[in-house]
Amino acid sequence: MLDLDKLKTALPTQSWTQDPDIIAPHLTEWRDKYQGHTPLMLTPRNTAEVALAVKICAQHNIKIMPQGGNTGLVGGQTPMGEVLLSTRKMNKLRDLNAVNNSMIVEAGATLQSIHRAADTIERKFPLFLASQGSCTIGGNLSTNAGGNHVLKYGTTKDLVFGVEAVLASGEIYNGLTSLRKDNTGYDLSRLFLGAEGTLGIITAASLKLFPKPGYIQRAIVGVDNPTSAMALLGHCRAGDALSMFEVIPHIGFEAVVNNMPNQRDPFASPHPWYVLIDWDVETEELGAKLAQAKLANAVETGIIRDAVIAQNETQAAQILSIRENMSAGQKFLGGSIKFDITVPLQTIPEFIKTAGKKVETLIPGCRPVSFGHFGDGNIHYNIAQPYGMDKEKFLGKWQTVSEVIFDTVDAFGGSISAEHGIGTMKKEDLVRRADPVKLAMLKTIKVALDPQNIMNPRVMI
């Protein structure tokens, strides 16, 4: 029996709740794949309250599951009896520095609010996700989120100077530096990036900002297949201007355009595959010239079928919304078995071909929906249920399909998790497939920092 009275007595009444109506939205992720339960939800308002709560939990061996915006996709934020600690009330902007191109913000700040803050000083925080209105920076850091701009700026761990975190003992680690050079020992802040809350709770972060481009030139292109898309990638590179290269198959494109509100097909006729492209440039004139030159060359060489170059911000937003609605649009295809994998860039077309043959043999009539960040090798390899097949029967094959897909990923020298983390969904897969030395090191670090295993105890390892 958990002794929760110590927590409720020590914390202000505004910083915890047992109201089932308030807690309910935090117990189910948006796909309804995971349904959790918790005896108590902590809602601390500052780092001191987090530290106090964790210290009490450590003293009484109470397990904790941290949660940010509840947008995760691998079960890493859904409590199954643990005390749930939500960081959403911790959303203050502590510092904004245009000279140093940095920002210090608390873990519960939404990604969208961070973009807005950066805008006020004409800077850019280059992490862009479809869930940016609800996901929080603490969750982004804990899962090392990727997004559409990894091609140019890297994953979330590349966009951080340091973090503040509460350890499993309740002690506060202060790594909120904005220094660009500091060789005083291990980079401890990076331990918490991608750790999924298993080593401590990130409470604030010092983020890297970048000069805001004068203009973003966007285009959408129709191609025949992934091989053509990869060839186009080479044509589109222009110094460091190329910032987004997203690929969508016709089945996914059609699901969005036909079912999501305020969508339209920018092309006169359909194409087998589509590519969304961004270039960061100084002026609209430079953007138009660059897009026309790069895409005209691709047309001449037969790489692309057609192209639409955005002429204004409204058209650019319309094009991007197709990609941003891919996850929601797939719901109209029925049940979907989803994978977030990465393979070496040059192998993407062959991987898609090989994986497609294998899943078709396993589930005849299934409909692969391979889309995502081709510019950095990350594919969201999803599989929609066959027409006429019972949804639950199809979803019941998830683990069997996982084995096939992950075996294929391994054969191509890839990773079973590109940007969504391990969570509980891929925990056993990691144990079976990880290099033994790596797995031993992960466990050693976990035991050293969390000997009682109170921090997200069911996640990752």
What does the pLDDT read at residue 75? 86
> With bands split at pLDDT 50, 70 and 90, how would you rate the model's confidence at 238?
confident
Contact 62, 452 (CB under 8 A): no
C-alpha atoms less than 13 angstroms from C-alpha of 390 in its C-beta half-sphere: 4
The pLDDT mean for the chain works out to 94
pLDDT value, residue 46: 98
Residue in the structure block whose two tokens are 């069911």: 458
Closest CA to 214 of 281, 307, 313, 144: 281
Query: What kind of fold does domain 93-211 have according to CATH?
Result: 3.30.465
Tens digit of each residue's pLDDT (9 = 90 or more) over 185-234? 999 999 999 999 999 999 999 999 999 999 999 999 999 999 999 999 99
Q: pLDDT above 90 covers what percent of the chain?
A: 89
Residues forming CATH 3.30.70.2190 domain(s) in the chain: 215-326
pLDDT: which is higher, 164 or 301: 164
Extract long-range pairs of 116-119: CB within 8 Å, 24+ residues apart. 117/93, 118/209, 118/212, 119/212
Position 461 confidence tier, pLDDT thresholds 50, 70, 90 = confident
Give the sign of the dihedral formed by CA 147, CA 152, CA 156, CA 160: negative
Residues 39-78 have pLDDT tens digits of: 999 999 999 999 999 999 999 999 999 999 998 888 889 9
Task: Tell me if the domain spanning 5-86 has CATH number 3.30.43.10.
Answer: yes
Q: How confident is the model at residue 129 (pLDDT cuts 50, 70, 90)?
A: confident
Calpha distance 24→35 (Å, rounded): 10
Closest CA relative to residue 220, chosen from 281, 270, 148, 278:
278
Please tell us whether the domain made up of 334-420 is placed in CATH 3.40.50.10320.
no
pLDDT at 402 > cutoff 60: yes
Q: Which CATH class is domain 215-326?
A: alpha beta
Q: In 6-30, which positions are buried (b, 16+ CB within 10 angstroms) versus exposed (e)?
A: ebeeebeeebbbeeeeebeebbebe
Helices 348-362 and 226-236: crossing angle in degrees, nearest 10, is 160
Tell whether the model's pLDDT for residue 384 goes beyond 90: yes
User: For the chain, where do the domains classified as CATH 3.30.43.10 start and end?
Assistant: 5-86
- Read off the amino acid at residue 21: D
Portions of the chain given CATH number 3.30.70.2740: 334-420
